[in-house]
Amino acid sequence: MVDKFISLVNPEREIQPFVVNLTGINSKMLKNAPKFYEVAKRIVEITEDCIIVAHNAEFDYRILRTEFKRLGFGFKRKTLCTVELSKQLIPEQASYSLGKLTRALGIPVSDRHRANGDAMATVKLFKILLSKDLEKNIIKNNVKVESKKKMDSNHRQIIDALPSVTGVYYIHDKDGKIIYIGKSKNIKHRINQHLTNDNSKSKKIQLQIATVTYEITGSELVALLKESEEIKRIKPLHNRALRRNTFTHALYHFIDANGYINLKIDKANGTENLITTFTNRQSAKSFMFKAVEDYELCQKLTGLYSTKSNCFNYTIKTCDGACINEEASTDYNNRVNQLINKNSYANKDMIIIDKGRDIDERSAIYIEDGVFKGLGFFDLNYQINNVEVLKSIITPMENNRDAQHIIQNYLRRNKNLKIVQINTST
């Protein structure tokens, strides 16, 4: 559940001048504001069973506890400090003040030094920190404590607490240990499947599941990349190792003796430069048939029509004759290169822009010289045009074969993705 409560509070004393200068709040503005005891119940309700996340959490938590103590109430909550987390997860920053840290990370801030503006900036900072917490220590250290309270919860309660969103989910046992990682375009539906299926793996998960945490990604591509990397790193008990043959076939190219670029489908391997990958041969052939039509390519030079003379399409006047050297190789190769550039990111410096976790956000998948560097999220109100700022929000990820396959496959299936070419020399 997501809730929001914003209110000025009458401190029942004069506001000190430095506070007025810092926040713009003066005593006159607070004259009709509620006193602390009038909002105390709401604070208790909105923080119940929650962890208080704040920038310099010790200070804010101490103020809250002091005010509740005056009312004779023992206010006690768990806290997480984004200053301490930032020092661990984003080292070597010039300053860890909220203002300078948000500027360095490209986080837009409105109403600086006012509760709502600072709180929303802290939320966005915390999302970045969660993304950079590759070992999931923030989640594991807190789930372990909370899960003991929820040991008696039934499966329906676990499902009801989950959202129908795209992201990565983590199934934990009673000790907080991650026993399974998955991705889904609908996390609630996927967990429901785990808890109702009767296959061997599902039954084992059903016996051990204590709680489920999740990370909303918005983008299916981000979810796929995170799932792949985290399974490799965490190696959960019930995840089979990612199979190397997930993408069994690939599209390759070569130049023949007459100077024409030929395309061929073959088994995927790690020794040749490939254009894109496929889950099976049939999927690859379907792609090639459509490519022949879309780019007006030759059936013979794409490996779809075996002949020593012209292809069938030349006979029906839909091929310009590259198969028998009638069409100039430069003209034909230009169309083949259009296909290659559309479906490959080799040697490119670019950002793949995809959906974010909410309507005002987008995800950024960073490619440098054809190498996948990592991913991050940015606010639409803060257009990223500086590579150094971009790098500061990117969570580094491994450029392995699985990541390459996932990106190539996603690019091929999603033709309307926004791709921004960048110049890393500036």
Both 333 and 371 in one domain: the answer is no
Rounded Cα–Cα distance for residues 238 and 86 (Å)? 32
Both 179 and 109 in one domain: the answer is no
pLDDT at 197 over 90: no
The pLDDT, as a whole number, for residue 378 is 86
Beta strands (DSSP E) in 122-258 are 167-172, 178-184, 211-216, 249-255
The pLDDT, as a whole number, for residue 341 is 85
Rounded Cα–Cα distance for residues 388 and 60 (Å)? 32
Residues 356, 362, 363: CA angle, nearest 5 degrees: 80
Q: Are 205 and 199 in contact (CB under 8 A)?
A: no
Q: Which candidate, 398, 361, 358, 386, places its Cα nearest to that of 376?
A: 361
16 part of a folded domain: no
- Residue pLDDT, tens place only, 205-251: 999 999 999 999 999 999 999 999 999 888 998 987 444 446 788 89
Both 128 and 40 in one domain: the answer is yes
In the chain, the percentage of residues whose pLDDT exceeds 90 is 31
- Residue pLDDT, tens place only, 93-142: 888 888 888 888 888 877 665 678 888 889 989 988 888 888 788 877 76
205 part of a folded domain: yes
Q: Which candidate, 275, 249, 420, 272, places its Cα nearest to that of 351?
A: 420
Both 145 and 202 in one domain: the answer is yes
The CATH number covering residue 84 comes to 3.30.420.10
pLDDT at 148 over 70: no
11 part of a folded domain: no
Q: Sort 376 into a burial class: Cβ within 10 Å, 0-12 / 13-18 / 19+.
A: buried
Both 97 and 169 in one domain: the answer is no
Q: Which candidate, 335, 190, 332, places its Cα nearest to that of 256?
A: 332
Both 213 and 142 in one domain: the answer is yes
Both 144 and 213 in one domain: the answer is yes
Domain count, the chain: 4
Both 408 and 363 in one domain: the answer is yes
307 part of a folded domain: yes
Instruction: Give the pair of three-digit tokens for residue 229.
Output: 């990397």
**Average pLDDT of span 328-334:** 95
pTM for the model: 0.65
27 part of a folded domain: no
Rounded Cα–Cα distance for residues 246 and 254 (Å)? 25
Both 295 and 332 in one domain: the answer is yes
Of 343, 370, 399, the position where a domain reaches its end is 343
The pLDDT, as a whole number, for residue 107 is 85
Both 63 and 41 in one domain: the answer is yes
Of 194, 210, 234, the position where a domain reaches its end is 234
The CATH number covering residue 171 comes to 3.40.1440.10
Both 254 and 337 in one domain: the answer is yes
Structural domain of 382 = 350-421
Residue type, position 357, single letter:
R
Rounded Cα–Cα distance for residues 319 and 310 (Å)? 9
Of 82, 103, 132, the position where a domain reaches its end is 132
Rounded Cα–Cα distance for residues 370 and 407 (Å)? 11
Both 128 and 152 in one domain: the answer is no
- Residue pLDDT, tens place only, 240-253: 744 444 678 889 99
229 part of a folded domain: yes
